[in-house]
Amino acid sequence: MSLAQAPRGQSLKIVSIRGGEGVRRRLFALGFHAGDLVEVNAQGIFRGPFLINNLTSDISVALGRGIAQKIQVEVVSDEK
């Protein structure tokens, strides 16, 4: 599923990042890579941007819907 459809507040693992080279490079530079654990924190009103927390590198990024749709994630079960 894409990050745009992912449930809020759950640990997710990035499976792949699609999209054009420019967008991908930008996301890599900001510290978003396949394999990272992320979490959707909030979403703006009227299909606004997503607030994504990257748990692996501990940074927060606002991503527009179009970008969030290009990031494929899977739910990580919280087994400790």
Partner 1 sequence: MPWAVALPKKFRSKSFPMKNNFPVVVFIGQPNCGKSTLFNALAGPKAETSNFPGTTVKHTHSKVNIEGRLLNIIDLPGTYSLNPSEPAEKVVLTHLFQEKPDLIVNVVDASILGRSLELSLELIELEDPMIVALNMVDLAEKKGVQVDSAKLEKRLGVKVVPTIALHGRGIKQLLEAAFYRLDERCPVRSPRWSLDVEEEVENLAKKIPADFPIVANRRFTAVKLIEANRAFCCEVLEELDPILKRDVDLAKKNIEEKRRAPAYEAIAAERHHLALKISEQSSRVERGKHLSWDKRLDDILMHPFLGYPLLAGVFLAFFFLIFKIGNPLEGSLLRALSGWRGFFSKLLGSGLLFHLVDGLLQGIGGGIAIVLPYFIPLLFFMSFLEDLGYLARAGFLLDTFMHRIGLHGKSVSPFLLGFGCNVPAIMSTRILESQRDRIITSLLIPFIPCSARTTIVLALVAFYLGPMWALGFYIFNILLVAGIGRFLTFFFKAPSPGLILEIPTLKRPSLKNMLDKTYLQLKSFLKFAWPILIGGSVVLSLVQFLGWDKIFNTLLSPLVVQGLGLPRELGMTLIFGFLRKELSLLMMLQALGVDYKNLLTVISPEQIVVFTAFVSFFIPCLSTFAVLWKEMGKKVAFLSAGLSVAVAVLVSLFIRVVI
Give me the least distance between CB of 47 and partner 1, in Å please.
7
Put residue 5 in one of left, alpha, beta given phi > 0 → left and psi -120 to 50 → alpha: alpha
Residue from 11, 13, 37, 51 that binds partner 1 (CB under 8 A)?
51
State which of residues 10, 65, 72, 76 lies at the interface with partner 1 (CB under 8 A). 65
Q: Does 10 bind partner 1 (CB under 8 A)?
A: no
Structure tokens at 45: 């009103």
Residues ≥6 apart with Cβ < 8 Å to 35: 13, 14, 56
Please pick, from the candidates 15, 18, 64, 75, the single residue that binds partner 1 as defined by CB under 8 A.
64
Query: Does residue 15 interact with partner 1 by CB under 8 A?
Result: no
- Does residue 37 touch partner 1 according to CB under 8 A? no
Q: Residue 23 in contact with residue 30, Cβ under 8 Å?
A: no
